[in-house]
Structure 1
């Protein structure tokens, strides 16, 4: 165990908060799985717990191996992986499967091993690394809007267009995080304003076309519109079932909660182990438990801020911002949906909600961030070793000078008579 811990490089604060969130996830996932076992009639609670354990274990293996990779390697990886991601997204749009009748075509089935994979989660990571690479490449150089339009925004909009029809919330998350990243990367505001305006116009046109020709392409525009209408309307609606059950769960938890495993609404709330797991956490652990989860995400956010400030290069800084901030933003969106501050989005709670691909992609992002912080540690260690060598060298020089001074003090020059040529060396 000690040897393993010594091999864990990077920011210890990030390691700590990620581990705490992952360890805590077992209790609500195990509790919420009873909904699938006793209500839906699928599997067993121990089976779901072991499945979540395997997902977390694979996720931490990904963190370990990714954080061992020098982070500058991801520049080349993103350039090669982006076309592959675009092809996977196109395949997902055409051949994607539906999981439990929910969330439309967001997943593809991995051949031979029978695992479902959400390609948009991988697309987020690859795209953010690609954008960070581009921004670090143009740092301090002159460039035109036309050149950035082709090299930067064409890949961004290609990914977003392929995700948008089936998953508006993820497409909006990716676009907002890319805009945030290019702002941090000092991309000109006038260019960014043009891009945001073009994105809004494109979204409106897509919605109008989808409403006018609903059978032209698979899309979920009607689902988005109905969710927004339900969220903004004060009239009761039978489709508000999930939100109402989530609100009941949160209200039942009060300050201290009902206790671990004692949630009642998990038996009535769909997606209780994924999209609405925060409501189950508050019901079982109360307001204090919910605030504790929020506190851990905020502390993780502060660690991202600190480590990005210390990053040795612009690419490293942008990697931490581009991969770390979406994790926190997604967590806040999930919590906002549970307490009805936001319309239903389908975003999971990172590192806590059940699910394989979402956990693994989050862990890959964390691994890349730790790779950057590992480089910070290596630089700090090299500087410390250099300082120690300089101190040792300075001590040796001081010692030599002291010894030389002592020798000079042992001997003195004495003049005989008035003639300086008669000087003799006398030992005192």
Structure 2
């Protein structure tokens, strides 16, 4: 299936000229757009019907937790049976869950009913982003264009987080509190089915054959577990910013600028992502991740103390600028840490970690905003990134690309596989890391 593209150049031009790329890029962009609308749509709808940010955050968090727990299983099934076989039933189930959640919220159903529906809604969220990344990895193989592809995907993700929250907020505040989730369901159905129809670009299916060694999960790779912690912290920034900005703008009587402020934050992320993809890095990915994460933790420090809207927008922009390098480098490391047979699963673990961190932060920020004021919710991004940075620094050795990384089908009894010789380029890269 994969036709590895060997190109000594980097940059978006050579990347976008990759044969077959546009067949999955355009449908993938449409299909992932609803992801940025889901949590903010839930927060705005449930807060409107209950009057509580804590309740809205709890429902949103339940959706995120369910997605985080089930996303890796979706990725594992996609590696084994193909993306189309997983995506179509997932899209239909997700749309049904969103419709049920809207009906219950408008009917002022009790919290337990909203939480019960939030579980399947989150669990069935289509994992289009990881699937697109897996298609890039299948197409590019070990090409120098892989970091550029990771940057391009980060830019695409952040563009959706610029458009999605603004669109959802405008629909919820200007049309109807449920309009944001209605749009999310429609886009999920149309985009998901269109993306699933692109069969030629999907990665090869890695089915187990009789006599094959047991398949190894991406979670067995130590570097993946470290990256999961890092992405939990990044999710804490997203979740804390969403709920805290919503509470802050409601508190000052300007709910309409919530989407604008969040769009500025996401726009900073997108701009940094564009720059990261255009650069030819001479610093190893591990060092880039540690530096970017340190700057991210530092940037979140003043959020809770800011009370002026223009200054909050400026600080949010800086926070956004610091997220992209960490995200891009984390996704780039997957290609060198994880074998192809478990790569979609690895990407979904990271995406799920963002969702889980976002969910926990939404709940914590909502509770803090209800009890102590909207600004206190901004302490959650700071705490999340500081804890994750501590873990990254302590376990950074696991992030070095190793030729002895566990491979799919590796011996289950712990025997070591032969270690192939490293190329001169790889040796120089590891030395710089």
- Mark yes or no: TM-score above 0.5: no
Superposition TM-score, scaled by structure 2 size: 0.29
Superposition TM-score, scaled by structure 1 size: 0.30
